[in-house]
Each structure stands twice: as C-alpha cells, then as structure tokens.
C-alpha cells in the first residue's frame, strides 16, 4: 500500500469507526450520540444532561426550550412545563419546557 493510500485510510478510519460506535439500549436498538436534558417527572429537580437518550432513567421527562434545545424524542413537541414558575406568556423568552 502506498503512502498516500495509508494517509487517506488513516484520515477516514476514525470517521467510519465513530459512525458505528453508538451505544445500545436494553432492546438492542442503537442510541443516538446526542445530548439529552431530562428531569424527574415529579418536577422535584432541575434538568440534567445525559449523553444519549438511552442514559435517561425511567420516570424522567425530556426538557426542551431555553438552552436545552429542541426535543430529541421523535413524535414529541416542546410544551410549557406546568411544574415550573416560569410563564412564557409573561414576557419570559427563556422558559424551559418539557417534551410531550
């Protein structure tokens, strides 16, 4: 193998390997490598950051809006969090929400 081919392979190999290095949940489905914010459904804690959707514990709801970004879970949309004191209709533009 010539020197250029080795250099090209060395440059492309990390990209190919990271595409296949996702984690799996208990059902064997691959987890997207995307940061997710979530809090306990009871609302008794702030939103925490998780490395993948599979890392979010049972009984947690996904946070969205403000600096949390959009909903990662498919089929959900960002709505006002009824358990927080922030009211988006009162002029607050950085109110976090939950995905439902």
Q: Which residues in the chain land under pLDDT 50? A: 5-25
Q: Which pLDDT belongs to residue 91?
A: 58
Tell me, what's the pLDDT at 65?
A: 85
Burial pattern 48-72, b for ≥16 Cβ within 10 A else e, equals eebebbbbbeeebbbbbbbebeebb
Specify the pLDDT at position 52.
94
């Amino acid at each position: 193998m010539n020197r250029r081919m080795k250099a090209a392979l060395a440059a492309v190999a990390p990209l190919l390997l990271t595409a296949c290095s996702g984690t799996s949940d208990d059902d064997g489905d691959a987890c997207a490598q995307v940061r997710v914010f979530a809090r306990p459904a009871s609302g008794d804690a702030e939103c925490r950051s998780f490395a993948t959707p599979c890392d979010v514990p049972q009984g947690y709801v996904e946070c969205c809006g403000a600096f949390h970004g959009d909903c990662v879970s498919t089929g959900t949309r960002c709505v006002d969090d009824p358990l927080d004191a922030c009211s988006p209709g009162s002029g607050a533009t950085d109110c976090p929400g939950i995905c439902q």
